[in-house]
Amino acid sequence: MTSPGTTAPRGAPPQVPETGLFSLADLPVDTVTRLADRAVELHHDPAAHTRPLAGRTVGVLFTEPSTRTRTAFTVAAVRLGAAPVTYGPGDLQLSTGEAVEDTGRVLGSMLDGLVARTAGPLADLRTLSRHGHLPVVNAMATEEHPSQGLCDLATLRLVLGDLGGLRLLYVGEGNNTATALALALSGIPGCEATFACPPGYGLPDDLLTTARKRAAHCGATLTHRDTAHALPTGVDVVYTTRWQTTGTSKPDAAWRERFRPFHIDEEFMTRRPGALFLHDLPAHRGDEVTGAVLDGPRSVAWTQAAMKLSSATAVLEHALGDQTPEISGTSEA
């Protein structure tokens, strides 16, 4: 990037806006809703598309572990007609110190799109897109996991139908899944979402500000708590994630003691008799949730996992195709 009044280095590509999907905050609320509904449609009918990526090549770069997201985006690319090129943690020269800008320029000269999960910040993915003139899909960055947020919204739409007035209780770390969830819920009319996180492990203030501004337009409310005491009992959904987020570590050696009160067990769910249970997986039974809850009759975590594929398909169709198709059928189960 050059400073005002300077000349770009010879051979440097002109700077262009980044394209793809980086954050749900970048999308209008109605687009988020349409993508979730499109994911439900594709869940019911995986062939409900015209292979809009036929003849294209999509890079799938994962420098951090992934089961659901990597598989979902790779299969989605194939189903939409694209040829995927996959990269692991040490496959690109990024691992030897090549500049993100240089990698972006090279990938942009060969690929039609890139799905990326790296250990770096969201800004790195925007840089890859900008310097490569390349649509990039954020498959999880430090700050946000937007395709997971869309998957969660689509799962709720699938199992509950109309989400107006949804009451959701999130319990656990304010991680990149939680930030995407907050942004996804901020567009649901009348939604009441409570995020209960251990002290020091809550949602970032700037994210809360953004989500609450979006929520104000549709009468939704986002409440943040740093205690596990006196949490709402009249809720439709309880959601948690693993305590040790992929690709991160906690500097506090006693962090497990801070998280222990946020454990979800049968007693916790009994006090919320009408609530479904969601978990983005992977789960550590005995830490954030008991096996009885995760595998119990009110858990939709496995449906949620299966919805990763149709959600990834909807995201690729939107970010790399011409546009998100109109939804042809109902999104209710």
pLDDT tens per residue, range 80-122: 999 999 999 999 999 999 999 999 999 999 999 999 998 889 9
CA distance 282 to 287: 12
pLDDT tens per residue, range 194-248: 999 999 999 999 999 999 999 999 999 999 999 999 999 999 999 999 998 766 7
Nearest partner of 237 among 308, 165, 287, 186, judged by Cα: 165
Q: Walk across the sheet containing 19-21 and list its strands.
A: 19-21, 135-138, 113-117, 57-62, 83-87
pLDDT at 7 over 50: no
CA distance 241 to 178: 8
pLDDT tens per residue, range 55-69: 999 999 999 999 999
Nearest partner of 69 among 150, 181, 131, judged by Cα: 150
**Mean pLDDT, residues 18-37:** 96
What was the pLDDT predicted at 157?
98
Peptide bond connecting 282 to the previous residue in cis, omega within 30 degrees of 0: yes
pLDDT tens per residue, range 255-277: 999 999 999 999 999 999 999 99
What was the pLDDT predicted at 14?
52
Percent of the chain with pLDDT over 90: 86
The tokens describing 32, both together, are: 């988020």
Residues 6+ apart with CB under 8 A from 140: 64, 66, 69, 117, 147, 148, 176, 246
Helix (H) or strand (E) holding 138: strand 135-138
CA distance 250 to 268: 26
Model pTM?
0.91
Set out the domains of the chain in order of their start, with CATH numbers. Answer: 19-144+309-320 (3.40.50.1370), 147-305 (3.40.50.1370)
Q: Are 154 and 164 in contact (CB under 8 A)?
A: no
